[in-house]
Amino acid sequence: MSDAATFARSILDAADIRVGGDRPWDIHVHDERLWNRVVRDRELGLGEAYQDGWWSANQLDEFIARVQEADLRSRVRPTPRLALLVARSAVQNRQSLRRAARNASAHYDIGNDLYERMLDKRMIYSCAYWRRADDLDTAQEAKLELICRKLGLEAGMRVLDIGCGWGGFAQFAAERHGVEVVGISPAAAQVALARERCAGLPVEIVQTDYREVTGRFDRIVSIGMIEHVGPKNYATFFERCRDLLEPDGMMLHHTIGSNRSKLSTDPWFDKYIFPGGVVPSLAQLAKAAEDDWAIEDVHNFGPDYDRTLMAWHANISARWDEIPHYDERFRRTWDYYLLGSAGSFRARVLQLWQIVFTRSRRRSPRYDAPR
């Protein structure tokens, strides 16, 4: 057995993960080159080896949860190559105006046919709210209604939806609450379908970046978008929201959250899933917002994302045969993305926050957040 194999197996032992075991979190190795790859490239090597079929798990989400709970990543020293990737993120603005459109296209323009089969009927690509729901469609509508209630939407209000996806929130808010919505996304495939789905409603869908929006709005919402803003742009993002929101307005940001502040993300996710994306911490968001904003409410329902991701995985797993042009390596990539993310939420390494903001230095009534 190689030194890398001995070292890697000892780390797995510390998390009570067995090679060849029959428990949900145990793994099976199909190529012994796995050990050198993981010791060399950590998360990137583990993910790429899974894509290549070098290993499998009885239940991938449970394996990743175990790895996260035991913090196995910290036991493997990063190589110069990985250190360079982290340093690049600290120096470069990976979500500049030019790069942001390219990053969005890399994920959201890969095919509406995939997302139509994976998501709920409204195509909401963010955490559902399962408090009083038993199925994905109901849980996603519950989340949309919760956001509308938290924002106090009233007929005639003008709402900016930053990162509108396929138009699910804009359509819901216009239909159920009589508001006018401007939805923006840099992803062409999203914009095209969102326009179809919102036809006939007081909804305008624009292919643009938040830094290019003009006008004034009574409410601002972003759902699963701050993860794409990037740490170097948090201050700019909140400044743009300040300039776009009416003085007595309110905004809500629904975002995946990290327990730790960081400038870069998991290198596998950066390379294969969300280029340039970084999950913010509460500290980073509060720091960026401190000059202009009062934080009225922070609602964490991170465990609901575990259930949402598992529902997405079940949906797409049942329908891969309908979209055969996605090859086997892509399917393994997508499994690793969905199940690995579910494991991270299960281990409470990732959170899901809805944060409500109002303008500071203004008299306003007490805010009581709906649940």
Query: What per-residue confidence (pLDDT) applies to 91?
Result: 72
Most confident residue range from 86-90, 100-104, 196-200: 196-200
- Residue 40 tokens read as 């060399």
Residue 19: DSSP 8-state: B
Segment 71-99 shows an average pLDDT of 75
Residues 6+ apart with CB under 8 A from 267: 41, 42, 43, 44, 82, 85
Give per-residue pLDDT as tens, 24-80.
999 999 999 999 999 999 999 999 999 999 999 999 999 999 999 998 888 787 767
CB–CB of 67/8 below 8 Å?
Answer: no
Q: What is the enclosing helix (H) or strand (E) of 120?
A: none
Query: What per-residue confidence (pLDDT) applies to 81?
Result: 67
Query: What per-residue confidence (pLDDT) applies to 85?
Result: 61
Average pLDDT, the chain: 95
Answer whether residue 341 shows pLDDT above 80.
yes
Answer whether residue 89 shows pLDDT above 90.
no
Answer whether residue 240 shows pLDDT above 70.
yes
Residues 6+ apart with CB under 8 A from 212: 97
Query: What per-residue confidence (pLDDT) applies to 369?
Result: 92
Query: What per-residue confidence (pLDDT) applies to 83?
Result: 65
Answer whether residue 98 shows pLDDT above 90.
no
Better-scored residue on pLDDT, 141 or 264: 141
Give per-residue pLDDT as tens, 254-308.
999 999 999 988 999 999 999 999 999 999 999 999 989 999 999 999 999 999 9
3-state secondary structure of 10: helix
Answer whether residue 86 shows pLDDT above 70.
no
Answer whether residue 237 shows pLDDT above 90.
yes
Answer whether residue 327 shows pLDDT above 90.
yes
CB–CB of 27/19 below 8 Å?
Answer: yes
Q: Which CATH number fits domain 95-359: 3.40.50.150, 3.40.50.300, 3.80.30.20, 3.30.70.20?
A: 3.40.50.150
Ranges in the chain annotated CATH 3.40.50.150: 95-359
Q: What is the DSSP string of 149-202?
A: HHHT--TT-EEEEES-TTSHHHHHHHHHH--EEEEEES-HHHHHHHHHHTTTSS
Answer whether residue 147 shows pLDDT above 80.
yes
Residues 6+ apart with CB under 8 A from 76: 11, 38, 39, 42
